[in-house]
Structure 1
Amino acid sequence: MPTASHRFSVSSIAFLYALLLFFTGAFLFPGTNCAQAGSKSEGWWLDGSWPHEHSTLEPHQDAVFGRLENGLRYVLLHHGSPKERASLYLNMQVGSLMETDSQAGIAHFMEHMVFNGSRNFPPGELIKYFQSIGMSFGADANAHTAMQETVYKLQVPTTDMKVVERGFVVLEDFLDGALLLEEEVDGERGVILKEKTARDSESFRASQRRVRFLLSGSRFVYPTIGTEEVIKGADANILRGFYDAWYRPELAVLIAVGDFDVRTVEGLVKKVFAKAGPRAERPAIPAWGDMRLKGVNAYYDRRSGTTGMLVVEAIHPRRHERDSLAVQRAMLDEQLAAHMMQARLMTLANREDSPMLKSFTYFTEAFGQMPDARMMAMPRKGRWEESLSLLENELRRALEFGFTKPELMRAKKFFANYFKQGVKRELSRDNSDIANEIVLCMNQDRVYQSPQQTLDVFTPMLATVVLDDVNKSFRSAWGAGNRIVSLSGVDLKADVSPEMAILTAWNKAARAEVKPWKGEAEVKFPYLTVPGKPGNVLERLHETSQAAPYTYQRIDFANGVSLLMKPTDVEKNRVQISLEFGPGTVSMDDRGQALARFSLDVLNQGGLAG
């Protein structure tokens, strides 16, 4: 059965430090080939419109955006990687936020049930069909349910357009033809309960406790998997009621990215999906609630046996802004500030006497709706108070004195190169990666643009960024009127409550004087100089004993070094280099193996390793 993930999609080009999200969120890098969006009303995306219909930003110049008479929208894009394959996604803009209390978990239950019998595929027949064309669940057929979306994903071959058409028939059945037979509901119930048990880990429970603290009284505290009571009590009537109310063509976005002729595929979309229609009245959405915390709030979760983690954040109430050039500029200013703050924290964490093992900062959106400014640190054992003091001081230093011109210059160079590399990477990206990005754009009300459009938008924008704007953006991001200071994975032994100990440490740090940032001295490039002349070649060998693409060239140098070169068209404009020494550690004695491990540690921590 396809797995469902309790998450929001995170753009493939997000910062590495966004991987340490403490609870479900969505993060968009400026130039995620879709621009940031946003009325605070529930379900702003339910009007069935395109993000670019509300923006002056132009959508991807090569993508075909269409809408059928029944309201179903589609995005079609030719992309040749991998060859003769296509990603077909049905993005239902329906998730667990549409549920009432008595339906908690039904959106996820529905994701399972559409695979268990439909108009064109009776129970058991869909799996047989997938197998007949070489597809398998997980790799080629999958789905996920989140709070705002349920996305069905197929990977199909494009050598036969009848297979592509049949893939559309499968997705149209998911939208409009699910049978929802009572015996299939009973059979799937156990699968879902088993999945719920599998998810019920220590880290999942910890994340739920934290969400309940942050967003008490809101619907965001309910996990997508639902409640055991609702899952056990669900029947075909309950599922049918949700399905007919919410699985509607105007809430569906079909996405096809792959190695195909776009006009041919568009004809198939019109042929297959035109008959879908609403089957019931769409109900009102339950009120979702919002962030309500003010002032400084402490949160503690011992979570014995886990890595210690400190989080300092400011979370704004929900907001939604329609995409625009101004919104993109605001995002750029914000992310430039985050990049500079990250550089400071990395400098501090790398100092020999640092109380932190690692530290991160970034701006995200909790559940894709609440702007969240975050600093995180992994404190060394017994040094959480010092780590917290460092975070408080550095945050206050940046808020009071701002960043410096040299810091901004380096951040600009980073982003300028990043956007250029995005253009070079595009041809070699997997079509599923692009399809996921389109889903993210549609569900966050962002205009989907090409990497070249992104480069064209942000290059002149970068040139006009000034330090005052970036500093104002940083202060605005942290100006939510609250501070949430969280500590987990540390066993606090104090005479007061853990929360009081955290607040005491925070208040003590807040009394310390801070001065403007003094940057680290520029470090000379620490590696060997490039030799003045090339090495002497002893022999050149072109290995052709096997047919292309398994041919390669070998060059032996006089100093004993051998160079192996193998061209490939898998990733355009990229080169992978590896260096191997001798036969490895097998032939070494204990002392030699210890020295080898030490050498690798020096290499990894010296900045040369990937």
Structure 2
Amino acid sequence: MRIALNLLSAVAIFFAGATSSLAAPAERTQPWNAETSDLEPDASIIYGRLPNGLRYAIRPNQRPQNQVLVRMTIDFGSAAEAEDEQGLAHFIEHMAFNGSTNVPEGEMVKMLERLGLSFGADTNASTGYTQTEYKLDLPKSDPHLIERALFLMRETAREISFKPAAIDRERGVILAEKSARENFGFQSGRAANNLFYPGTFYATRYPIGTTDVIQSAPAERMRALYRKYYRPDRIKIIIVGPVDPVAIERELVAKFADWRADAPPLGALDQCLLDTNRALSAQSFVHPEISESMSVQQFLQDKKRPDTLERGMIELKMGIASAIISRRMARRSREEDMPFLGGGVTFDFGLCDQYATIGYGVAGKDGSWRSLLAFTEQTVRQAVEYGFEESEIAEQIKRLDAQYENAAKDEGTESSAAIANALVSLDEDVYNSDKYRQLLWQQIRPFITPAAITSEFAFWFRQMDRPQIFLTTKQSAAIPEDEILAAYAVSQGTPIAAPMARAASSFAYTDFGPAGAVIADKTIADLGIRTIRFANGVLLNLKKTDFEDNRVRYSLRIDGGQLHFGTQNAVLALLMSATYVSGGLKAHDIEDLRSILAGTTVSPAFGVADRYFGAAGAVAPADLVRQLQVMAAYTTHPGYSENALRLFRRPLPELYARLDAVPGSALSVAMSSIMNDDDPRFTLPPLKALQGADFEMLKTVLGDALKQNRLEIALVGDLDEEAAIAAVARSFGALPTRADGGKDYSAQLQPGWSAKRGNFDIPHNGEANQLAWRRIWTTTGDNDQKTTQSMDLLARVATLRLTDELREKLGATYGVSAQSDMSNLYLQRGTFSVSTAGDPKDIATIESTVDQVISALVKSPVDPDVFERARKPVLESYADWKKQNDTWLGVVAEAQTSTNKLSRFRQAEANFASITTQDLWALAKLYLSKAAEFTFRALPDEMVSGGLESAE
């Protein structure tokens, strides 16, 4: 049944009005892939093409109000590489930042930083199997800035220099990146790809490439591949933000129209062949640090499926079926003591343009693969044989109703990043508007019946007769294939019963007593924040904005948090954070609560922060009453279900066993313990202590804190203020009287650092060529706003200098960063740190280079250019800072209890703008002229046990 809107008439009307002002020789076109789809494209996006084949999409958008996102994609990735080119697509991406015809080596990143862009190791480009993407997030819609961005995109697209010396310098950076990523997880993924996709580029052409090619590929080979695939008919430019489309088109013409391809068009890259008649097979991957998991997949011969209503209907029904199966697994996992830690169904179209993928995956406790396999296989087979209950499908329908309705209401303030990312990943699909998708959903909703979903799921999964099974385990030896297949056969032969039907229930916590009375109602005029006080002491702060349609951001803060538990009971703070919500409410198990909340944007959120209990999130205005009721119920009627405790404890042995599996984890755990003398407030507790913590202990120590301590609520966004006040009055305002003032926790706020200082070598069980490294200077807490901002800026300066030296010049690491962390709670505690990763053989280079950079910061004021490159992105970020609800929520959350925070908010931009190079120099001399108190080096276990000493 064809129910799409009339595509051709809508497009014709749109283009008739749009093309008159077009900048020749650009030509506006139909939306991408519209010719293969019966779905209506979003008419707000302008599509076009230059005569050379380059395509573009422009979407005017006001969220954020200043930022412009520029994306350039090339239909080229590792799938196109020959044997002696493996890794060169990724290498070319790196070389884009290392000099071009009109940009000297090392100047591109600096040029963009001076314009206010912030860069990171992975921030601005990426290479996949079939696509390379370049990204520039411009801080404002400035014609000069946009011109520079498109100039640099053109340099990248055609003018990369490939100077041999620059290539040689970049080899070390790429090898460091390769080394950092190739741990047991990557090895496991490689083994899985060999099983599932043998002979295809997924198994033979990884974007990172091979060491031999990275080390030795000559410039000419790289340049030839670049010339072959970087061509206008394989490029798309995407620009989203507050822009004038005609001006953008003129700039695209100016930068790209004279570029001509010098060879015939090339074919698509995403073609590959799989044998869909393969026999049932299995393989295991063994590693002492890997978790137990299993993936079962089968590939079915299919057809190329464009973005049509037919495909969408199938995907919708299969998505509902998959969600129901995941819920069934989660519910059984809560109700029974089983080793299951997570799992779900796999279904997808479009693999290699001609295959459908069906299957399932599961993870669990070590040594449990047999029971995991049986549990998952039988749950999926149960759905094939017995289908789905009407109540299960009704729950999912409610979720989809809410999803489509809220997306349509949000559409006017959708973020530019979301739009740009969707266009980048569009592939052969069509970009539709949220309002159109809601209309389409309303039209097809009557056809989404239990019978239709059951039939669709059974059609696909009844074909699962010869899957490939991939197992990962830490057992001492590989599991023989026949043993895995025998366990699979036993499970298949096990009879299964129909699922248990569950009765629906309604929410039990809607009446908290007579509505509370408002006794104070004021406005902070310059910030537009309304402050309310109820008779029972509850504080409410409101900030109405138009930054996000159909969205209210909320914050709930009850005094206490980790400070309430103190040192002696710190383990209970961790227990509460992990289990309090999943423990449900007295009247509702968490799974029942989630079913009740289906079709809303309400979240059962409640946790523990450093100085408060509470929650934060976002909800549709229509759901605000229920969100407040759920949070109020968690303060008054927590369920403390033993199921939650069992689920929390279940993965702990595996989690603790793998704390030293990779260098970064080993370093973080040991560092916290050493620097804080094992203070339980700042370190991971012993496994035995965490396993021994229970709800009776938590209830005893928590006492009446949630019912009695000072409570402050903040609501920001698309608000009906009077309705919001009434909703709080009927929930939190109706509760018993609370404390007027905050608790005195001053005795806890003076923790010091350990007296043990020096170098600490931490063993890890990861790869022998991997190192994590951190050097730390102690500073002070967040006592002065400008000092805190200055230290943050000093860290940005240090990061730029360290990146120049360690990454770009020496190739000793893939990424390095400096960070200032000045606590706003423990006002005597702060650190300035430098962190990196690399190969243990480069320790001496890393440490001497860090010492040199820090010494230079202490010796003299920072170079004005480096200073400007570090501060400009922060300055530019202030343009949209006060036009984001997230920013305001952080301020409004404590508008009545922290007036200092309001003052800081007012002064933040001016304070930052006033920072000088002399300010940074003074702080560098104050805090960095001394020897670093701590240096941590996470090294392979054999190196530490082999004699490397810790100097204290």
Same-fold call, TM cutoff 0.5: yes
Q: Give the equivalent residue in structure 2 for 1:411.
A: 396
Distance 1:595 1:475 in 2: 46
2:378 paired with 1:393:
yes
Per-residue Cα deviation, 1:160-202 (whole angstroms, up to 9, x for no partner):
2121122111112222222222222222222211211111111
Q: Give the equivalent residue in structure 2 for 1:226.
A: 209
Q: TM-score, normalised by structure 2?
A: 0.55
2:364 paired with 1:379:
yes
Q: Offset at 1:367?
A: 6.3
Cα 1:489–1:223 change in 2 (3 A) is same
Contact residue 220 and residue 288 of structure 1 kept, 8 A: no
Cα 1:191–1:319 change in 2 (3 A) is farther
Q: Give the equivalent residue in structure 2 for 1:350.
A: 334
Q: Which amino acid aligns with 1:253?
A: K
- Which among 259, 266, 271 is matched to residue 276 of structure 1? 259
Unaligned runs of 5+ in 1: 1-30, 32-47
Contact residue 356 and residue 387 of structure 1 kept, 8 A: yes
Q: How does 1:152-551 map to 2 (within 5 A)?
A: 152-221=134-203, 222-281=205-264, 288-292=272-276, 294-317=278-301, 319-364=303-348, 370-441=355-426, 443=427, 445-478=428-461, 479=463, 481-491=465-475, 497-525=479-507, 527-531=508-512, 533-544=514-525, 547-548=526-527, 551=528
Contact residue 244 and residue 279 of structure 1 kept, 8 A: no
Q: Offset at 1:368?
A: 6.9
Contact residue 272 and residue 352 of structure 2 kept, 8 A: no
2:587 paired with 1:602:
no
Q: Offset at 1:581?
A: 2.3
Relative to structure 2, which stretch is displaced further, 357-366 or 398-407? 357-366
Q: Offset at 1:579?
A: 2.5
Q: Offset at 1:382?
A: 4.6
Q: Which amino acid aligns with 2:563?
A: V
Contact residue 140 and residue 153 of structure 1 kept, 8 A: no
Q: Offset at 1:489?
A: 3.1
Unaligned runs of 5+ in 2: 5-29, 585-589, 591-603, 607-952
Cα 1:163–1:594 change in 2 (3 A) is closer
Give the match's secondary structure for 1:337: helix
Contact residue 105 and residue 231 of structure 1 kept, 8 A: yes
Distance 2:181 2:101 in 1: 32
Cα 1:605–1:365 change in 2 (3 A) is farther
Contact residue 58 and residue 240 of structure 2 kept, 8 A: yes
Q: Offset at 1:560?
A: 2.8
Distance 2:499 2:283 in 1: 29
Alignment root-mean-square deviation, CA: 2.8
Per-residue Cα deviation, 1:103-142 (whole angstroms, up to 9, x for no partner):
1111111111122222332323322321221113239960
Q: Give the equivalent residue in structure 1 for 2:91.
A: 109
Cα 1:379–1:159 change in 2 (3 A) is closer
Q: Which amino acid aligns with 1:118?
A: S
Higher Rg: 2
- Considering Cα pairs closer than 8 Å and 6+ residues apart, tell me whether 1 or 2 has the greater RCO: 1
Q: Give the equivalent residue in structure 2 for 1:23.
A: none
Relative to structure 2, which stretch is displaced further, 254-263 or 296-305? 296-305
Distance 1:299 1:520 in 2: 38
Distance 2:523 2:197 in 1: 64
Q: Which amino acid aligns with 1:98?
A: A
Contact residue 193 and residue 228 of structure 1 kept, 8 A: yes
Cα 1:585–1:274 change in 2 (3 A) is closer
Relative to structure 2, which stretch is displaced further, 265-274 or 350-359? 350-359
Contact residue 346 and residue 360 of structure 1 kept, 8 A: no
Q: Give the equivalent residue in structure 2 for 1:9.
A: none
Contact residue 406 and residue 550 of structure 2 kept, 8 A: no
Contact residue 295 and residue 360 of structure 2 kept, 8 A: yes
Distance 1:64 1:401 in 2: 48
Instruction: Give percent identity, aligned residues only.
Output: 27
Give the match's secondary structure for 1:576: strand
Distance 2:534 2:65 in 1: 38
Q: Offset at 1:298?
A: 2.0
2:553 paired with 1:576:
yes
Higher helix share: 2
Q: Give the equivalent residue in structure 2 for 1:562.
A: 539
Q: Which amino acid aligns with 2:344?
A: F
Q: Give the equivalent residue in structure 1 for 2:54.
A: 72
Relative to structure 2, which stretch is displaced further, 218-227 or 555-564? 555-564
Contact residue 158 and residue 260 of structure 1 kept, 8 A: no
Q: Which amino acid aligns with 1:269?
A: L
Contact residue 97 and residue 288 of structure 1 kept, 8 A: no
Q: Offset at 1:553?
A: 2.7
Per-residue Cα deviation, 1:310-343 (whole angstroms, up to 9, x for no partner):
3233333575322222222222222122222222
Q: Give the equivalent residue in structure 1 for 2:132.
A: 150
Give the match's secondary structure for 2:89: helix
Contact residue 561 and residue 573 of structure 2 kept, 8 A: no
2:81 paired with 1:96:
no
Q: Offset at 1:514?
A: 1.6
Q: Give the equivalent residue in structure 1 for 2:769.
A: none
Distance 2:92 2:273 in 1: 25
Q: Offset at 1:86?
A: 0.7
Distance 1:285 1:76 in 2: 24
Relative to structure 2, which stretch is displaced further, 118-127 or 146-155? 118-127
Distance 2:552 2:356 in 1: 38
Q: Offset at 1:239?
A: 1.2
Distance 2:384 2:374 in 1: 15
Q: Which amino acid aligns with 1:467?
A: P
Q: Offset at 1:256?
A: 0.5
Distance 2:543 2:159 in 1: 50
Relative to structure 2, which stretch is displaced further, 155-164 or 233-242? 155-164
Q: Which amino acid aligns with 1:372?
A: T
Q: TM-score, normalised by structure 1?
A: 0.84
Q: Offset at 1:236?
A: 1.8
Contact residue 276 and residue 299 of structure 2 kept, 8 A: no
Distance 1:178 1:599 in 2: 54
Relative to structure 2, which stretch is displaced further, 290-299 or 249-258? 290-299
| Corresponding residue pairs, total | 555
Q: Give the equivalent residue in structure 2 for 1:4.
A: none
Distance 2:262 2:164 in 1: 19
